[in-house]
Structure 1
Amino acid sequence: MEIDYSPQSVPTAPYRQMAEESDTAVLFLHGITGSPAAWFPIARALSVRRLSVSAPLLPGHGTRWQDLNATTWSDWLEAARVEFDALSREHSRVVVSGLSMGGALALALGAGDSSPAELVLVNPALHIDSPLTPFLPVLKHVVSSVPAIAGDIAHPDRCEYAYDRTPVAAIASFASAQRRLCEDLWHVECPVTLLVSGRDGVVGPRTLRTLRAHLPRRPEIVSLRRSQHVATLDNDAELIAEVILTKARPSTAAPEGTAEHRE
């Protein structure tokens, strides 16, 4: 699938295109400190294939990192749920694709009252692999931000337009939600596809082990051998787009050789 990487006029703006003839919509959820820019090229490519697509801007994102510290997991999840419900009113199927924290939000939708047709998760984050994680509830009152976690991309010419600092209070809220979400994974009844980078500098292998152990049905796993964490803008973006298209249109056969590894 050909993907156009030229940026939109406002890179961090939400992107929403409805196709009147499509009974399926794809909801794209970006990661913490990130923006819809991480999904924009793929979402635009799928809209050309006559799929309805929506990549909302989550609260506290797309402005300055201080604004993210004023929001919590509940705000991000509610925004995702509102957009999911809006798409559900107009489409019989909604596939949810999430990157990093967006993957955690997608799982929370699947574990809750929403009914996604499929979840397609790119390097989802269910754990913060740092020795400081247990101290985040206290640390957030002492330190407002730490160096950025954004920009983990192998391709030299791609940008996710994320914050240049990581807000500690927001990360603390995310870490607390991760613990609760891990306990709720058994509620996720829809099919789950995991696209996992071999060179992820942000999310460690513990998340994959957790999902394999606690999801009620075995997830399909696709290896992204040429990409780092923000794989949606990296060297395997075309593969990710093809996988999402296949899940959005089950009758569409995946092109031979697109998945480097599947389980």
Structure 2
Amino acid sequence: MVQSFRSPGHGELARIGVAVCHGFTGSPVSMQSWSESLAEAGFAVNMPLLAGHGTSWQDLAKTPWEDWYRDFEAAYLELAARCDSVYVVGMSMGGALSLRVAALHPVAGVAVVNPGLTFGDPKAKYAGLLKYVLKSVPAIGNDMKLQGVSEGAYTRTPVAAVHQLSQLFSNTIELLPRVTAPTLVFRSTVDHVVPDSSIEVLKERIGSSELRIVPLENSYHVATMDNDAPLIFSQSADFFRRTL
């Protein structure tokens, strides 16, 4: 079973916590290297395995989005109880969950990779009806330019969970004006999963006066495991260090 990841941190950077969130139908595997890089640098890190993930797509089909949020919020709160400041980090759906935490809690900042807030497939808007006649569709995982790498995503995507994801997106978009913390966005120039409309919505609605978007020229959706991963790791660590 795919496990969560925790590190207490060490040295001066242990005062800074980083809550890390994986994406929809994925697992902590996609964020493991980033989490380990931050832990090695000295940051306190907490990356949970979200409810309905890391088991089977049938489990995900029965999981409400509030449970995904609950698990990630708990990771943030655990760090907030022992750190001077806490950042939230997420990829894809994890980006939406990170932004929602930032809207509801005093985070030090947000760093997201290809954050999902909208769908590229127009059929997704009908998932609430389609789930009654269609249990699952082909997987969306492993969208990487780098060959021979797997993020450990499900082989099928449950339509009922897409409906839950849609509700999460809508809820998070409504809360974006309340996100006032500095926000760093890594965006792949080619992403076959999250459409550009997600970034446009983020730019239009976020309440932060400090929004920086870094283009990733050599990666697809799962950029944390792709060619631009070192850039993500180094620039995010610099972003977190500025709290000191």
Task: Tell me how far 1:134 sits from its aligned partner.
Answer: 2.4
Question: 2:153 corresponds to which letter in structure 1?
Answer: A
> Which of 197, 205, 208 is matched with 1:214 structurally?
205
Which residue among 83, 96, 99 is the counterpart of 2:88?
A: 96
Query: Which deviates the most, 173-182 or 192-201?
Result: 173-182
Deviation, 1:50, is 1.2
> Which consecutive aligned stretches of 4+ in structure 1 deviate over 3 angstroms post-superposition?
none
1:59 corresponds in structure 2 to 51
- The answer to whether the aligner puts 1:223 opposite 2:215 as a matched pair is yes
How does 1:191-210 map onto structure 2 within 5 Å?
A: 191-210=182-201
In structure 2, the residue matched to 1:261 is none
Matched-pair contact (CA < 8 Å) for 2:46–2:76: no
- Does the alignment pair 1:171 with 2:184? no
Contact 1:33–1:61, Cα closer than 8 Å, also in 2: yes
Any conservation in 1 of the 2:60–2:158 contact (CA below 8 Å)? yes
Of the three residues 179, 183, 193, the one matched with 1:188 is 179
Offset at 1:131? 1.8
How big is each residue's C-alpha offset from its partner over 1:118-148, in whole Å with a ceiling of 9 and x where there is no partner? 1001000000121212211111111111000
> For residues 107 and 42 of structure 1, what CA distance do their matches in structure 2 show?
18
Q: Secondary structure at the match of 1:241?
A: helix
Distance in 2 (CA, whole Å) between partners of 1:251 and 1:183 is: 28
Name the counterpart of 1:258.
Answer: none
- CA distance, structure 2, for counterparts of residue 133 and residue 19 of structure 1: 40
Asked if 2 retains the 8 angstrom alpha-carbon contact of 1:95 and 1:247, the reply is no
- Partner of residue 39, structure 1: 31
TM-score, normalised via structure 1 length: 0.89
Aligned-residue offset at 1:157:
2.5
Q: 1:127 aligns with which of 115, 118, 129?
A: 118
1:104 shift after superposition: 0.2
Corresponding residue for residue 80 of structure 1:
72
Instruction: Indicate whether 1:151 and 2:142 are aligned.
Output: yes
Give the distance between the partners of 2:126 and 2:57, measured in 1 at CA: 21
The residue aligned with 2:237 is 245
Residues 181, 210 of structure 2: 8 Å contact kept: no
Contact 2:62/2:161, CA 8 A, preserved across alignment = yes
| Structure 1 residues 206 and 218: alpha-carbon distance in aligned structure 2, compared to 1, 3 A threshold | farther
Per-residue CA distance 1:178-213 (angstroms, 9 max, x = gap): 112212110001011110001100011001111111
Q: How big is each residue's C-alpha offset from its partner over 1:76-131, in whole Å with a ceiling of 9 and x where there is no partner?
A: 0011111110110010111111000000000110111x111110010000001212
Could you tell me which amino acid in structure 2 is paired with residue 157 of structure 1? G
Residues in 1 aligned to 2:33 and 2:99: alpha-carbon distance in whole angstroms: 23
The answer to whether the Cα contact below 8 Å between 2:5 and 2:47 also exists between their aligned partners in 1 is: yes
Q: Match for 1:79: what amino acid?
A: D
For 1:26, give the aligned amino acid.
V
- Partner amino acid, structure 1, of 2:6: R
Where does the alignment leave 5 or more consecutive residues of structure 1 unmatched?
A: 1-9, 253-263
SS in 2 for 1:67: helix
Residues 185 and 212 of structure 2 are in contact (CA less than 8 Å); yes or no, is this contact kept in structure 1? Answer: yes
Q: Which residue of 1 aligns with 2:7?
A: 17
CA distance in 1, matches of 2:15, 2:101: 20
More helix as a share of residues:
2
8 Å CA contact 1:212–1:218 kept in 2: the answer is no
Displacement of 1:158 after TM fit? 1.7
